[in-house]
Amino acid sequence: MTESPVSQPDLDLDQVIACHGCDLLLENLEPEPGARLCCPRCGEIVKTRKIDSINRTLAFTFSGLMLYPFAMFEPIMTLDTMGLRNQGNIFSCMTNTWHSGYGFVAIIVGLTSVFFPLAKLLLLFLVALQLKQGRSTPTLARLMRIYVHLDEWGMLEVFMIGLLVTIIKIHHLAHIHYDVGFFCFIGLLVMALGSSLMLDKEEFWKRIEHGKT
């Protein structure tokens, strides 16, 4: 713990916690695993303790990474209409939009549905793996920070709903045959959601910090 000597530190910073929703100072209680600490003023969840966070995060991110290439590059479905067939995969959502001249849309679609989900899984996997082995390097904090910033920019679940809307839109126009990619994508989504649900950021940060010293 490095204390900056500017002000009169009359509070032990380990004893207090500040709500990041409304800045209220609260007593730093340790909730039981699985429980949450809520701010009495604004209702923000101040602290959560997840059970067996590192192992579970590791398991979910690893499974997610295994599924990722199949979910992105295998065809998700085949459309059959009037003797014509057409297949598509998720990666081509980005490339096709790019080729049709909407570069900005293509970049955003690519980032939010292809690159950021991968980056999130990879970062979390690397951090969890290092913490599991009890190692901590200065890069670990940097990786974790990138993860925190990318958190809401990976939009697999929005993409999934988009996929459902698309299916409803075209199911009466053509016969739809679901391919491997579709099921791998659902698997990837479950793993990605699971990994962020199992992640206990507070514990991860604490471990990163203690490894540093």
Partner 1 sequence: MEKLDLHRSRTAMEAGIGVCHDCHKLQYLGELHEVPCPRCGAAIHYRKPNSIARTWALVLTALVLSFPANLLPIMRVDFMGSSDASTIMDGIIYFFQEGSYGIGAVILTASILVPCFKIIGIILILLSIQFRWQSWLRHKTILFRIIEFIGRWSMLDIFVIALLHVLVEFGFITSIVAAPASNYFTGVVLATMFAAITFDSRLIWDADSEPTVQFSARPDETFITTMQAGELHGKTSSQKT
Instruction: Between 63 and 185, name the residue whose CB sits nearer to partner 1.
Output: 185
Could you list the beta-strand ranges (E) of 63-162.
77-81, 84-88
Nearest to 177 by CA among 90, 72, 79, 92: 79
Q: Please state the closest distance from residue 156 (CB atom) to partner 1, in A.
A: 10
Q: What does the alpha-carbon distance between residue 152 and residue 138 come to, in Å, rounded to a whole number?
A: 24
Q: What does the alpha-carbon distance between residue 47 and residue 142 come to, in Å, rounded to a whole number?
A: 22
Q: Please state the closest distance from residue 31 (CB atom) to partner 1, in A.
A: 6
- Provide the pairing of β-strand 175-178 with 16-18: unpaired
Instruction: Between 6 and 134, name the residue whose CB sits nearer to partner 1.
Output: 6
Q: Please state the closest distance from residue 175 (CB atom) to partner 1, in A.
A: 12
Instruction: Between 146 and 190, name the residue whose CB sits nearer to partner 1.
Output: 146
Residues 60-89 that bind partner 1 (CB under 8 A): 77, 79, 81-82, 84, 86, 88-89
Residue of the chain from 173, 175, 177, 178 that contacts partner 1 (CB under 8 A): 173
Sheet with 175-178, side-by-side order of all strands: 84-88, 77-81, 175-178
Instruction: Between 88 and 194, name the residue whose CB sits nearer to partner 1.
Output: 88
Return the axis-axis angle of helices 138-150 and 201-212, rounded to nearest 10°.
Answer: 160
**Part in contact with partner 1 (CB under 8 A); list of ranges 56-64, 105-113, 125-133, 181-189:** 105-113
Q: Could you say whether residue 197 binds partner 1 (CB under 8 A)?
A: no
Residue of the chain from 73, 102, 132, 177 that contacts partner 1 (CB under 8 A): 102
Helix or strand run (H / E) with residue 165: helix 156-170
Q: Could you say whether residue 139 binds partner 1 (CB under 8 A)?
A: no
Q: Please state the closest distance from residue 179 (CB atom) to partner 1, in A.
A: 11
Contact 60, 52 (CB under 8 A): no
Q: Please state the closest distance from residue 72 (CB atom) to partner 1, in A.
A: 12
* Tokens 């009169």 sit on residue: 8
Binding-site size for partner 1 (CB under 8 A) equals 87
> What CA dihedral angle connects 145, 199, 201 and 49, to 10 degrees?
180
